[in-house]
Chains A and B, each alone.
Chain A
Amino acid sequence: MKRSGLVRTAASLSMLAVALVFLYPFFWMFLGSFKANREIFDTSLFWPLKWTGEYFAILFRGEYFSFGRSLLNSVFIALAQGIGATLLATMAGFVLGVYRFRSRNLWLGVGVLVVLVPVQMMALPLFIWVNRIGLFDNPVGVILPGLVSGLGLLFFTRVFRQIPRELLDVARIEGASEGRIFLTVLPLLKPFLIAFGFAHFVLAWHAHVIPLLILHSDTARTLPLSLAALFGSSLNSPQAVLMAGSTLGMIPLLVVFGLAYPQLKSALQEFVAS
């Protein structure tokens, strides 16, 4: 369809304005990492009065919490959950999407149930249970519950259903085992794997309730938890450290997001179009 230039310009300019509003808080957050408390709470002030790296230095010296350690914990937990959940969901989704057998709908139904009753709703019983099996204050206790994604199962079941039948037939006639067929098909689904893995990575990165309950010691805490503890501690502590930590904490997410974005887009468009 031809659009008149006027409509295009108007839409572009207004969306640019909206994007600025959306991003403004981030500029403020970044600039806030150079400001004294007094300046931060004076929201009419945009630029810091003095550019100082002091607050970043405090952050790295670990005066309030060990930034490097928390970041490492976060990266480890989120990566393990993103990769692990994708792997498990593809394996199970492959079986449910490609083969037809009696109990197939039963297993899909179980997947639906997991979507309907999200694990965050059960944070408290989960905490007690994880405690009982001895994984309290252990990153494994956060990672393992995060590997079960009902949405992932349903997503990949549907994705595998779209694999051309001929391909699977050829593989079967060649006498390939199920595991072999699975490994052959997997590379074809790269955009879907990346899309789901990324979405799960982000959810795991932001997870708050479950890590808050399970991870107790300072060295085990994830970055969001450490930052939240710092925020809650006192308003007299320099807020700029918090701003600096939050700004730096977004970098891994932005990098992963930037890398995944093109794949994300093609996967979603294919999924939606099918």
Chain B
Amino acid sequence: MALEKSKFRVSWGRICLAAPFFALLVVFWAMPLFQGLRLSLESDTLWGASRFVGFKHYLSLWNDHRYWKAVLNTALFSAATVTLVLGFALLAAHALTLCWGRIRGPLTFAFMVPGLCPPTALALLFLLVFHGKEGLLNQWVIQPLGFETINWLSDPDYILSAVVIQAVWRWTGFMTFFLLCALNARPRDVLDAAAIDGVNAWQRFTKITLPLITPTLLFCLVYLVVDCFAQFAGSYILFGGSGGTSDAGLLLVSYAYQKAFVGGGFGSGAAVSLSIVPWLAGMLFLIAFVPRTFWKGGET
């Protein structure tokens, strides 16, 4: 609800309140973006004067198979992570609503702890879980099921799965928490009435619950997609900024880092970063802002 339509009157109070945010936005968001755009059109000179080279960096990316590998990896990683995390979180949130009331809080808390875990600790836990022979995953899951042990961190077929499993472990708890709050906010009487009228559990879920929690699901989706695309710490610590065996774990942010700091080409590094912007922005726009109900909130 808005108060009034101001009639061309400049309100200094409002400007002062809103100005700091937008001023910083210009200095630390718009300026770097602009600088990055300029940089990506210039030659890879480190400190001296650089030449304008137009779209050369973008064109060479087009023919760069490592770049496409990174794009594919990032897309696969994001898709797998988002699907698994949201699926598990939805299940877990439902299970939590069924739990004994007294342990519900502590359990939710426990699930969220991995989300607080620093990336370095993540790298250590990787050793524990994914270690070639003695890792937990091999010892407790793979071997008992009768499979050959998998060298998760150096077998190119499995590196990406290891990164996905880590992301799932890390984010499921937070998303469960968000979804649990959404489930708790459902109107009880509607659900009860539906149950009494003989609507089965599946229909209650798809027809009542799902529409009610869609905004929260969208929020989780945006949060996860952004985090997946910006994922760096995990793979940086594991592979030291490289992509692991035959680039199987190469993600876009680490590729940009590599181009700029290992290859010494700031221009091409900036081009890698910026080449993802339209994709990410377009995707997020489709997911989150086309169903306007979320942000419009009170007005709809």
**Interface residues, chain A, CB within 8 Å of chain B?**
1, 3, 7-8, 11-12, 14-16, 18-19, 22-23, 25-26, 28-29, 32, 40-44, 88-89, 91-92, 94-96, 98-101, 107-108, 110, 112-126, 128-129, 144-145, 147-148, 153-154, 158, 161-162, 165, 168-169, 172, 177-179, 182, 202, 205-206, 208-209, 212, 223-224, 227-228, 231-232, 239, 242-243, 246-247, 249-250, 253-254, 257-258, 261, 265, 268-269, 272-274
Contacts and interface: CB of A to CB of B under 8 A. Distances in A.
Contacts of A25: 114, 125, 128-129
A54 B232 CA distance: 33
Contact of A161 (B6, B20, B103, B297): B297
Contact of A124 (B115, B215, B256): B256
B96 interface: yes
A92 B3 CA distance: 16
Interface in B179-196: 181-182, 184-185, 188, 191-192, 195
B123 interface: yes
A269 to B, nearest CB: 5
Interface of B: 1-6, 11, 13-14, 16-18, 20-22, 24-25, 27-29, 31-33, 35-36, 39, 92, 95-96, 98-100, 103, 107, 109-121, 123-125, 127-129, 131, 134-136, 139, 169, 173, 177-178, 181-182, 184-185, 188, 191-192, 195, 213, 215-216, 222, 226, 229-230, 232-233, 236-237, 240, 253, 256-257, 260, 266, 269-270, 273-274, 276-277, 280-281, 284-285, 288-289, 295, 297-299
> Chain B interface mostly helix, strand, loop or mixed?
helix
Contacts of A123: 253, 256-257, 273
B18 A231 contact: no
Given A12-B103, A144-B28, A99 B14 contact: yes
A32 B28 CA distance: 41
A261 B116 CA distance: 13
Which of A11, A25, A161, A209 has the most B CB atoms < 10 Å from its CB?
A25
Contacts of B95: 11, 14-15
Contact of B17 (A3, A41, A91, A158): A91
8 contacts: A8-B98, A22-B173, A28-B128, A29-B124, A43-B135, A43-B136, A124-B260, A250-B117
A147 B20 CA distance: 10
Given A22-B169, A123-B273, A148-B21, A272 B216 contact: yes
A259 B170 CA distance: 21
A158 B289 contact: no
> Chain A interface mostly helix, strand, loop or mixed?
helix
A228 B119 CA distance: 8
Nearest to B277: A117
Contacts of B1: 161, 165
Which of A41, A178, A253, A258 has the most B CB atoms < 10 Å from its CB?
A178
Contact of A129 (B31, B112, B295): B31
A29 B114 CA distance: 12
Given A23-B113, A32-B124, A125 B21 contact: no
